[in-house]
C-alpha cells in the first residue's frame, strides 16, 4: 500500500447505497473466517455501539448501520452468495438472521465492480442466494456496451433524484425466518396487550412481520415517521405486542432481535393499495423495507388477513400493489396462482457506489 504502516488494519471495501439503505460492502475473502473476529471487525468499522457512530462509517440510524458481504457461489445455478449484517448505533449486535432487500440491490453492482462476475452487454442478470435465509432471487442491472450504468430515469421514494433501474425477482420468499408464511396457521390472531385484545396478522413472505390497524394503537397511520418514533406510549405498546408475537411466530424470545417488524396499516390515501408505518422494530422506517413491502402486499391479497378491511387490491393474476409509506410509495408486482397464493414477487430498486477504498480498524481487534 502507498500508506505508512500503523496500528490500524486496512480492509478493502466499497461504501454503497442499496435502495434506501447504505453501508460498506466486503468480499468475504477480505474478512476474518472466524465469525466472532469478523463481527468485532464490523462493529469497529461501523463505530458501534455509539448513538452517533462517531468512530466509524455508520450513519447513526439502523438503515445506515448495514453491511453487505459477497462471494462467488458454489451452489449449482447460483452466481453469487450475499450475506447481510444488521448492526445498530446503540448496541453491539451483528444480526445476520433476516434479509435486507435494499442492501441486496447493491450486491450485484458490487460484485461486478470487484470482478466476481463478467459484465454482459446490455443488461447483466445474476441469481443471488441470500445466506441469511436461503432465499434466491434474480437481479438485473443495466450494463449498456458492457459497462455498469448507475444513472438513469428510475425513481424510488426515499432516495433523492433518479438512477438506473435494478430489478429484483424473488423466487421463494414464504417463511424466510418463520417456519412458514403464516406461522400460527391463521390469517388473523387475537393477542392480549396490556390486558386488551388486539387483532393482528402474523406473516413472513420474506420478512417476519406483525400487521396491526393504526387506529387500534391510537394513531391515524398518516403521521410523519419521526413523530411516531418519538411517541413513547405507542412504542411501549408495540414492543409489548412484539414480545408476545415472537414465540407465536416460532421466533422464540425476540427481546434482543430486530424482528419481527411491526407494521401499522391504514387505508391508502394516494391511490395505492394500502398505507403503512413500519417499526424496524424500535424506530419508525422513513419508507418501508423491500421484503417488508413484499410481505405487506402479500397480506393484502390474503383473504381474511387484517389488511382486507382497508386494502384496495387490483384484479388479475399479475398485479402491482402500491404500498404507501411516510415518504411516498413502494410498488410490488405479485403473481398469484389459481388458489390466490403468491408465487412470485418482483420490484424495482436503484443503487450506487459512493466510495471505494479501505476501511481502517484497530489492528489488535
Ligand atoms: O425488508 C429495514 C430496509 C429494511 C429491511 C428493516 C429491508 C427489507 O429498508 O427487505 O430492506 O426492516 O430493518 O432496508
Please determine, for residue 353, whether its predicted confidence score (pLDDT) is greater than 90: yes
| The pLDDT value given to residue 2 | 82
CB atoms within 10 A of CB 217: 20
Residues 267 and 310: their CA atoms lie apart, in Å, by 5
181: cell is 408464511
Residue from 101, 104, 277, 297 to probe ligand 1 pocket by mutation (most atoms less than 8 Å from CB): 101
Distance 148 CA to ligand 1 centre (A): 25
Asked whether 21 lines ligand 1 (CB < 6 A), one says: yes
Taking all residues of the chain, what is their mean pLDDT, rounded to a whole number? Answer: 97
What number does the ligand 1 atom closest to the CA of 19 have? 14
Please determine, for residue 323, whether its predicted confidence score (pLDDT) is greater than 90: yes
Length of the chain: 365
- Which of the four pLDDT bands, split at 50, 70 and 90, describes residue 95? very high
- Per residue in 22-54, pLDDT (tens digit) is 999 999 999 999 999 999 999 999 999 999 999
Tell which residue, 211, 312, 325, has the closest CA to residue 277.
325
Residues 356 and 365: their CA atoms lie apart, in Å, by 23
**What value does the mean pLDDT take over residues 216-221?**
98
- Per residue in 71-90, pLDDT (tens digit) is 999 999 999 999 999 999 99
Residues 7 and 190: their CA atoms lie apart, in Å, by 56
**Concatenated DSSP letters of 211-234:** EEEGGGGTS-S-S-HHHHHT-HHH
- Per residue in 171-212, pLDDT (tens digit) is 999 999 999 999 999 999 999 998 999 999 999 999 999 999
Residues 207 and 260: their CA atoms lie apart, in Å, by 8
- Per residue in 244-300, pLDDT (tens digit) is 999 999 999 999 999 999 999 999 999 999 999 999 999 999 999 999 999 999 999
What single DSSP character describes residue 236? H
Please determine, for residue 339, whether its predicted confidence score (pLDDT) is greater than 90: no
- Nearest residue (by CA) to ligand 1, atom 3, is 289
Asked whether 100 lines ligand 1 (CB < 6 A), one says: yes
Distance 262 CA to ligand 1 centre (A): 12
Please determine, for residue 1, whether its predicted confidence score (pLDDT) is greater than 70: no
The interface pTM score, or ipTM, of the predicted complex is 0.93
71: cell is 462471494
**What value does the mean pLDDT take over residues 338-356?**
94
| The pLDDT value given to residue 151 | 98
Residues 295 and 292: their CA atoms lie apart, in Å, by 5
Asked whether 291 lines ligand 1 (CB < 6 A), one says: yes
Please determine, for residue 322, whether its predicted confidence score (pLDDT) is greater than 90: yes
Asked whether 98 lines ligand 1 (CB < 6 A), one says: no
Distance 116 CA to ligand 1 centre (A): 25
**Concatenated DSSP letters of 25-84:** EEEGGGS-SSHHHHHHHHHHHHT-S-TT-TTSS--SSGGGSEEEEEEE--STT--EEEEE
| The pLDDT value given to residue 225 | 98
Q: Which residues contact 205 (CB under 8 A, 6 or more apart)?
A: 173, 174, 176, 181, 291, 294, 295, 298, 299, 342, 345
Pairing between strand 196-204 and 8-18? Answer: unpaired
What number does the ligand 1 atom closest to the CA of 102 have? 11
Q: Which residues contact 196 (CB under 8 A, 6 or more apart)?
A: none
- Per residue in 132-174, pLDDT (tens digit) is 999 999 999 999 999 999 999 999 999 999 999 999 999 999 9
- Which of the four pLDDT bands, split at 50, 70 and 90, describes residue 340? confident
Please determine, for residue 219, whether its predicted confidence score (pLDDT) is greater than 90: yes
Residues 100 and 291: their CA atoms lie apart, in Å, by 7
Amino acid at each position: 500500500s502507498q500508506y505508512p504502516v500503523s496500528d490500524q488494519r486496512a480492509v478493502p471495501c466499497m461504501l454503497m447505497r442499496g435502495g434506501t439503505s447504505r453501508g460498506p460492502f466486503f468480499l468475504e475473502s477480505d474478512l476474518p473466517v472466524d465469525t466472532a473476529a469478523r463481527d468485532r471487525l464490523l462493529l469497529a468499522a461501523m463505530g458501534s455501539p455509539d448513538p452517533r457512530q462517531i468512530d466509524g462509517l455508520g450513519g447513526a440510524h439502523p438503515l445506515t448501520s448495514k453491511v453487505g458481504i459477497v462471494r462467488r457461489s458454489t451452489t449449482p445455478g447460483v452466481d453469487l452468495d450475499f450475506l447481510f449484517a444488521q448492526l445498530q448505533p446503540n448496541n453491539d449486535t451483528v444480526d445476520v438472521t433476516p434479509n435486507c432487500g435494499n442492501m441486496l440491490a447493491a450486491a450485484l453492482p458490487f460484485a461486478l465492480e470487484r470482478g466476481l462476475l463478467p459484465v454482459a452487454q446490455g443488461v447483466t442478470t445474476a441469481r443471488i442466494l441470500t445466506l441469511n435465509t436461503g432465499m434466491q432471487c434474480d437481479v438485473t442491472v443495466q450494463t449498456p456496451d458492457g459497462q455498469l450504468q448507475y444513472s438513469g430515469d428510475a425513481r424510488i421514494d426515499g432516495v433523492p433524484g433518479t438512477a438506473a433501474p435494478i430489478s429484483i425477482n424473488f423466487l421463494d420468499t414464504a417463511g424466510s425466518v418463520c417456519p412458514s408464511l403464516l406461522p400460527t396457521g391463521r390469517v388473523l390472531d387475537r393477542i392480549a396487550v396490556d390486558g386488551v385484545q388486539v387483532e393482528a396478522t402474523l406473516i413472513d413472505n420474506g420478512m417476519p412481520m406483525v400487521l396491526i390497524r393504526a387506529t387500534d394503537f391510537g394513531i391515524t397511520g398518516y403521521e410523519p415517521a419521526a413523530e411516531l418514533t418519538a411517541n413513547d406510549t405507542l412504542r411501549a405498546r408495540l414492543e409489548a405486542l412484539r414480545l408476545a408475537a415472537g414465540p407465536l411466530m416460532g421466533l422464540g424470545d425476540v427481546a434482543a432481535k430486530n424482528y419481527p417488524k411491526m407494521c401499522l396499516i391504514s387505508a391508502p390515501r394516494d391511490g395505492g393499495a394500502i398505507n403503512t408505518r413500519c417499526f424496524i422494530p424500535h424506530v419508525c422506517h422513513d419508507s418501508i423495507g423491500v421484503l417488508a413491502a413484499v410481505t405487506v402486499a402479500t397480506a393484502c391479497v390474503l383473504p381474511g388477513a387484517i389488511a382486507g378491511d382497508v386494502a384496495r387490491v387490483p384484479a388479475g393474476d399479475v398485479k402491482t400493489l402500491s404500498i404507501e409509506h411516510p415518504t411516498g410509495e413502494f410498488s410490488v408486482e405479485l403473481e398469484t396462482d389459481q388458489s390466490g397464493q403468491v408465487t412470485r414477487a418482483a420490484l424495482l430498486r436503484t443503487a450506487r457506489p459512493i466510495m471505494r477504498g479501505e476501511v481502517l480498524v484497530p489492528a489488535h481487534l
